[in-house]
Structure 1
Amino acid sequence: MTKESDCRLWAANDPLLIEYHDHEWCHISHDDRYIFEMLCLEGQSVGLSWRTIINKRKEYQKVYFNFDIDKCASLTDEYLNSLMDDTGLIRNKNKIFSVRNNAIAVKKIIKDHGSLDSFIWSYTEGKQIIGRWEKASDIPTETEISRKMSKDLKKLGISFVGPVITYSFMQSIGMVNDHLTDCAYRIY
C-alpha cells in the first residue's frame, strides 16, 4: 500500500477543501469570471484561513451573482451595506466593498488588455510555473512574480492583494503548479 502524498495535508479532511485541492487548485484557468472570483475570494481570506472562505464560497457566489464582473461593478452602496447582515460572509465592510472596487478595476484592465486572463497570465508569459516540491514546507509563500503582480494590482486599484495572497491567487488559477511531486492530483 502506498502512502498518500502530504500535498493534501492543508485540506485537513474537509470535503470542500479536498474537492478544491483535487479539482481546482493549480489547475490552469483562462476564464475571466473564474479568475475574478479567485482574485476576490483570495482577498477575502486575508487574516483568515482558506477553509473559512471555501466553506462560505457558495454564499459569496450567490450574493455576488457568481462573480459576474459587470454585475459586481454596478452594485450599489445600499446593496453592499445590506451584506453586512449576511452571516454567510466575512462581515468586514472593506472586504465586502472590495468586490465592487475590484470589478471596476478589472473592467478597466479588460478594456486596456483585452481580457483579465491576458493581463494576469502575462506575468508568466502565458506559461505555468511548475514547482518540483517534495515537501509542503518547500513551497514558497511568495515569489518575485507575486511581489511584482501585487504591486501592479494595487496601483490599478485592486484590494487585498499583498504578495502572499497574490501567490495563493496564482496557485488558485494554475499559474503555478505546486502539487507535490508525489501527489496523485499533480497534472504535470
Structure 2
Amino acid sequence: MMNQDIRRCEWCKADAQYIVYHDTEWGVPKIDDIELFEKLSLEGAQAGLSWITILRKREGYREAFMHFVPQKIVEKELSFFLENMDNPKIVRNRRKIESIYTNAIAFIEIQKEYGTFANYWWKWSNYTILDNQPKESKDIPSQTELSKEISKDLKKRGFKFVGPTIIYSMMQATGMINDHLHDCMFRNHGIVMDRSLLID
C-alpha cells in the first residue's frame, strides 16, 4: 500500500502520513455521524493552515473533544474546552475551539430533524458520489455552487467555520465528491456507496 511506484494524487506524495490518509480515507464515503462530525471539525480547524498540520494533530483533537461524539461534547460547558487554549496538541485558536462546541449543538439539531447527520449531508448529492474525474490538480476547484449552497444552509443552522471552501474540502474528504485524479488508479476506481445505509 505504501508502494511509491503506485500512481497517486500529487498532493500526497511528499509525506508518508499524507500517503496513508490518501490511500485509506480521502474520498471514501463516510456515513457514520461521528466520523462526519470529526471531518467537519477538523476541516474548520484547518482554515488558514495546511491539512498535514491538522492531520498530525488529529489524535490531540480526539483527546480534547471527546473523540468527536457531539452528545458528549454538549454535556460539558464551553469553558471546559477553552482550557485547551494551552494545549499544544491542537490549534490554539479560541474561535476555532468555540466553533467545535457550537457546531456540536447544531449537529445534534440536524440529527433530530433528519434521523442522522449522514441523511442530511448526503441528500445534497442525492445520495450519490459526484465523480469529477479531474485530469490535473489545477482542474480541481476550491469551491462550487453546491458547496456554497451547503455552506449557506449550515450557517443558517448556526454552524461556524463552514465557508464554501471548507465545505468543498469536506465534500472531498467524506467521499461526496471523488476528486482523485484520473490517473490515480490506486483510488480513482471502485469507490462505491451503499444508499441503503442512509435512507430509512
TM-score, structure 1 normalization: 0.94
Query: 1 CA distance for matches of 2:182 and 2:13?
Result: 19
Query: Does the CA contact (< 8 Å) of 1:74 and 1:100 recur in 2?
Result: no
Q: What is the number of equivalent residue pairs in this alignment?
A: 186
- AA of the residue aligned to 1:27: V
- 1:104 equivalent to 2:113? Answer no
Q: Name the CA distance, whole Å, in 2 between partners of 1:84 and 1:107.
A: 25
For residues 77-114 of structure 1, give each alpha carbon's deviation from its aligned partner in whole angstroms, at most 9, with x where no partner exists. Answer: 33112100101111001101111100000000000111
Gaps of 5+ in 1: none
Root mean square deviation of aligned Cα: 1.5
1:56-75 equivalences under 5 Å are 56-75=57-76
2:188 equivalent to 1:186: yes
SS across alignment from 1:124: coil
Distance in structure 1 (CA, Å) of the matches to 2:37 and 2:189? 23
| Aligned-partner Cα distance in 2 for 1:170–1:33 | 16
Q: AA paired with 1:116?
A: F
- Map of 2:155 onto structure 1: 154
More displaced 10-residue stretch of structure 1: 75-84 or 167-176:
75-84
Aligned position for 2:178: 177
Q: Matches of residues 109-124 of structure 1 in structure 2 within 5 Å?
A: 109-124=110-125
Q: Which moved more, 1:65-74 or 1:53-62?
A: 65-74
Identity of aligned residues (%): 39
Q: Which moved more, 1:74-83 or 1:62-71?
A: 74-83
Superposition pairs of residues 8-157 of structure 1, within 5 angstroms = 9-157=10-158
Moved over 3 A (4+): 2-6
Instruction: Check whether the contact 2:64–2:81 (CA below 8 A) recurs between aligned residues.
Output: no
Instruction: Quote the Cα distance in structure 2 between the aligned partners of 1:14 and 1:75.
Output: 36
Per-residue CA distance 1:120-141 (angstroms, 9 max, x = gap): 1110010010011111110111
Determine the C-alpha separation between the residues in 2 that align with 1:84 and 1:187: 42
CA distance, structure 2, for counterparts of residue 62 and residue 3 of structure 1 = 35
Contact 1:129–1:175 (CA<8 Å) still a contact in 2? yes
**Compared CA separation, residues 136 and 103, structure 1 to 2 (3 A):** same
